Amino acid sequence: MRKITLALAVVVLFAGGGLAYWKFRPAEKVVVKLTDKDLRKGDAFPHEMWSAILKKYSKDGFVNYKALHTDHADLDAYLGFVAKYSPQTHPDLFPKREDQLAYAINAYNAYVVKAVSSQDPIEGVGSALSRSKFFNGTTYPFGGKDSSLTDWEKWVRETFNEPRVHFALNCASLGCPRLPAEAFEPARLEEQLAREAKKFVNEERNVKVEGGKVKLSSIFKWYLQDFVGKDGKKSDLPAKIKEFGREAPAGEVEFVDYDWGVNELK
């Protein structure tokens, strides 16, 4: 009976999307070769490497994952820095909030691109089970400490209290904010976050007024409290969207289904 019960439980967990299933499995650990270059206090983190990769392999927010699958040396080199240094393990290299947050966003996005481009064939995170493994069941090295993408995102949200990160962090899906063809840079971070927020809310797929209703991306539902505070309601979202640069009338708010298709450049 115990064996049957366990088997049924596993089936139920899989049917439910696998989220709980991965909690009972050891995480798959991504190993990245650390850079042999030493960064010292006062040195800038080489985000220009990530910018060069994005300019070469992305366009209009879509990524040429197939090309990166075979030509990934530059991406691996950048991730060698990400894996060796982080604000948590080398705070002297990230003295300002902008230094820390720019690293956090770029590191997340680069690991997502690496994970998807490593797939053969490219499938992205279209199924609930693949998403569970991708975001929860796999760990990546950030400055020598391993973290799942979900835990990394949680650290970013709790540490910086910056709702606009949801317009910057990219999960390789069509429902995500478009991936800009440049790294987020500490000196320009405020400008870039404002730009990406305005871009996101002005896309009809994310914010649409129709029939007296405001139809919003599910991102606003999943992270509602990040946008309107612990005591906020979804009816408060139009006012917040206005702050980001889009007029949205007060009214009934609905959330549209998220598109988990891969943001692959065709």
Give the angle subtended at the CA of 228 by the CAs of 217 and 236, to the nearest 5°.
75
**pLDDT-derived band of residue 5, with 50, 70 and 90 as boundaries?**
very low
pLDDT digits (tens, 9 = 90+) for 212-251: 899 999 999 999 999 999 999 999 999 999 999 999 888 8
Average pLDDT, the chain: 91
Residues 6+ apart with CB under 8 A from 63: 57, 113, 116, 117, 172, 179, 263, 264, 265
Write down the pLDDT at residue 206.
98
Q: What is the mean pLDDT of residues 255-265?
A: 97
More confident residue, 179 or 26: 179
Q: What is the mean pLDDT of residues 155-183?
A: 98
Place of tokens 């990040």: 226
Write down the pLDDT at residue 249.
87
Domain chopping of the chain, boundaries: 25-203
Q: In the Cβ-directed half-sphere of 249, how many Cα atoms lie within 13 Å?
A: 7
Task: Give the H/E segment covering residue 18.
Answer: none
pLDDT digits (tens, 9 = 90+) for 70-127: 999 999 999 999 999 999 999 999 999 999 999 999 999 999 999 999 999 999 999 9
Q: What is the mean pLDDT of residues 183-206?
A: 98
pLDDT digits (tens, 9 = 90+) for 119-139: 999 999 999 999 999 999 999
Write down the pLDDT at residue 8.
34
